[in-house]
Structure 1
């Protein structure tokens, strides 16, 4: 059994707060705001499967994935084997940017 540290939760929370304060818009109708993915935190930080809400948000934010991957602060959370597995579980294709 893995022992989870409190530090990753703090880092994730900090990233969400920082990014929530400055959402970026794309030319599409989707507002690219990584805080919209907060329903996925439980699945990212633990072995829990993604919730229905998480999967809905992943599908909604899919047009923003390449933008998130270009941001080094966000990339460290969305470009991981766990994040890719969550996307796959939700039926969301992981982008090739």
Structure 2
């Protein structure tokens, strides 16, 4: 299933609320906007995308529980981007 950059931005914009994890990581799905181009196309992820993905990795299980984000975060391209960045998805 393909998602457009606009869809990705809209969903992420709806999730402006931030959550603090006990590790001190601030979960903010908007940080993953740096990966939108790689997730919605066949372009390789940028260094910024990989950095943000690694920062947000502790939050991915939380994002997968959100029905608005699950479609994007759990898409084949998102998983490919995570693998390419050397930050595979955690088992939730």
**TM-score normalised per structure 2:** 0.91
Aligned structure 1 segments of 4 or more residues deviating by more than 6 angstroms: none
Question: If you compute each CA radius of gyration, which structure gives the higher value, 1 or 2?
Answer: 1
The partner residue of 1:89 within 84, 88, 92 is 84
List runs of 5+ in structure 2 lacking aligned partners: none
List runs of 5+ in structure 1 lacking aligned partners: none
Q: Which residue of 1 aligns with 2:25?
A: 30
Q: Larger RCO: Structure 1 or Structure 2 (Cα < 8 Å, ≥ 6 residues apart)?
A: 2
The partner residue of 1:61 within 35, 43, 56 is 56
CA offsets, 1:25-82, max 9 Å, x none?
A: 2122110000011110010111100000000001111100100011110010010111
- Give, in whole Å, the separation in 1 of the partners of 2:8 and 2:23: 26
Give the total of aligned pairs.
91
The partner residue of 2:8 within 5, 12, 32 is 12
**TM-score normalised per structure 1:** 0.87
Q: Which residue of 2 aligns with 1:72?
A: 67
- Give, in whole Å, the separation in 1 of the partners of 2:33 and 2:5: 12
